[in-house]
Structure formats: structure tokens, C-alpha cells
Amino acid sequence: MGNELITENKLILGGVTVFAKTRVPVHTLWEYLTKGDSLEVFLDDFPTVSKNQALHVLQAAKKSLLHAHTIALQKQSFL
């Protein structure tokens, strides 16, 4: 699989961000989790997405949000 977790390609679903080597949009994972479905339900419905892929995407999103929050706090402290 390599290090690629997600990809965007205009030839795949018009450029929507998908899990690498699938046609499953990443936003579908967020939709499942937002409506209260578990990761396991998502993985059962989309067997082309590996658990490892989904967990790494969730971890990357968490890291990105925490980084953005830290930057916002730093900016606020300078005001």
C-alpha cells in the first residue's frame, strides 16, 4: 500500500478525496461517525478500506486539529 492514505484524482469521482486505491470518499467515514455508526460498521460497508487506512486518516485528522488549535491559542495569547 505504501504511505499513501488518501488521494485526489479528477478521473476518480471527479477529484473527490478518496481512500487510496479505492473509490470510497473520505467524507463518507466522517458521515458514518457523525451519525453515530462505529468504525466497524463503516469498514463492514466499505471492505476496500482497511482498518489501518481508516485509523491512520483519523489520527492524521486529530493531529491536524490539535495543531490548528495550538496555533489559534498562540495567536490569541499575542492579542
Report pLDDT digits (tens) over 4-41: 889 989 988 999 999 999 999 999 999 999 999 999 99
pTM: 0.76
Per the model's pLDDT, the better-predicted residue between 53 and 79 turns out to be 53
Report pLDDT digits (tens) over 40-68: 999 999 999 999 999 999 999 888 887 66
In angstroms, how far is the first alpha carbon of the chain from the final one? 45
What are the residue boundaries of the structural domains of the chain, listed by start? 6-77
Q: Which fold has domain 6-77?
A: Arc Repressor Mutant, subunit A (1.10.10)
Q: What is the DSSP track for 17-43?
A: -EETTS--BHHHHHHHHHTT--HHHHH
